[in-house]
Amino acid sequence: MGSRANLLSNVPTNAGNQVGSIPGAGPSLADLTRPDFPLLAQTACSGQPLIYLDHAATSQKPRQVLATLQHYYDHDNANVHRGAHQLSARATEGFEGARAKTAAFVGAASPHEIVFTRNASEAINLVARSWGDANLKAGDEVLLSVMEHHSNLVPWQLLAARTGCVLRHVGLTESGELDLGDFQAQLNERTRLVSLVQVSNTLGCLNPIAEIATLAHAAGALLLVDACQSLAHLPVDVGQLGADFLVGSSHKLCGPTGMGFLWARESLLEAMPPFLGGGEMIQDVFLGSSTWAGLPHKFEAGTPAIGEAIGMGAALDYLNSLGLERVHAWEQQLTAHLFARLEAIEGLRILGPTPQQQPDRGALAAFSVAGLHANDLAELLDCAGICIRSGHHCTQPLHRHYGLAASARASLSFTTTLEEIDRFAEELIGAIAFLREHS
């Protein structure tokens, strides 16, 4: 392994370029934000600067979020909603303040429309278990797509097994975008729910959610949006999207792990039965029956992830301070540069639309190289201090659609620099050459 690392380290880079800047322009967003992220300043085991290109899997955390978590546990640690003492009051204020921040971040009508969960997967399961079990029966249809993350496939498969509802899946265009014609063809009077990702974690395509919402509602169906890959990269407003449910995950928003949320229209939440039973979610408990707390607490059984919620609130403050329009504009430039470098590599195939085909696409590129395994590429790049993803990215049906067992994925953030993309591309060229020589 050491010899391969040395081989790759000899590949020339563009180290003379100003980090993360555009010639003739001032400091980039990456220049301004990288000092806030201590992890990005470390040296990799290879002795080279660490390059983190796995933001679609989990985002890094700025000092402001880390300081908020530390402050909570140092000064305010107590259970929420239960105590009359000052620590509980401060913890409750921070926890419910994070709910209000989350509501504002997605354009919710009220903080009561935000249900805190462990992650986006739990949020989708909540809808499937609560709304799905109460409303769907044999013959009803749920419309998904072949690009969905496993978290937006498996809960509906379990629902179908329980209720007898039918799952249908929208296909893709040749460019790797949602086939809107196929969507319209499959949408019918039996469709009760449409559940789609806004930005694919593998294809990077941005789905036309507002148009899909109009079509779904005209057919009498509700719409759930998986916004995990969009919330940290572009402005998202549930009213403008026309969604009925939307899920997000803190750890992709520069916040702590183990924290996510469900947004749903208040009228839907009011009509939905609880998902889990226990403390916090009750109004009155008798030996034979119970009544439920008001929204959103009837869906939040037990002691919640208090510090993590407060940390997520700090992460949303941080993103708001940057401005998501500004984030999106910088990441568009980075994505165009990434594609230009990858498209120049012989035998490399990128999944999903190009920035020319879809300028607002996600800031990532999943790719395969003919005759080589993605895991081998990722391992060699790791030897050079570059962290990318390899595998099926929790989208096995999508990979089967393309005849692939796995792909490699580089995913970007506003902290990514042009120099990092250049070094990644050069190291990738060296890794490909090494593997072809030794295969």
The catalytic site residues sit at: 394
Scanning 242-362, the segments in alpha helix (DSSP H) are 266-271, 306-322, 324-343
Buried b (16+ CB within 10 A) or exposed e, 314-323: bbbebbeebe
Q: Answer yes or no: are the C-beta atoms of 7 and 434 closer than 8 Å.
A: yes
Which residues pair with residue 172 across a beta bridge? 178
The whole-angstrom separation of Cα 262 and Cα 130 is 12
Q: Answer yes or no: are the C-beta atoms of 266 and 112 closer than 8 Å.
A: yes
Which residues pair with residue 408 across a beta bridge? 367, 390
The end-to-end CA distance of the chain, in Å, is 15
CA 293 to chain centre: 30
Q: Answer yes or no: are the C-beta atoms of 25 and 329 closer than 8 Å.
A: no
Q: Answer yes or no: are the C-beta atoms of 167 and 140 closer than 8 Å.
A: no
DSSP string, 45-104: TTSSBPEE-BTTT-----HHHHHHHHHIIIII---SSS--SHHHHHHHHHHHHHHHHHHH
The whole-angstrom separation of Cα 390 and Cα 168 is 28
Which residues pair with residue 204 across a beta bridge? none
- Sign of the alpha-carbon torsion through 225, 351, 343, 175: negative
Q: How many CA atoms within 13 Å lie on the side-chain side of 237?
A: 7
Name the amino acid, one letter, at 206.
Answer: L
The whole-angstrom separation of Cα 245 and Cα 2 is 49
Q: Is 6 helix (H, G, I), strand (E, B) or coil?
A: helix
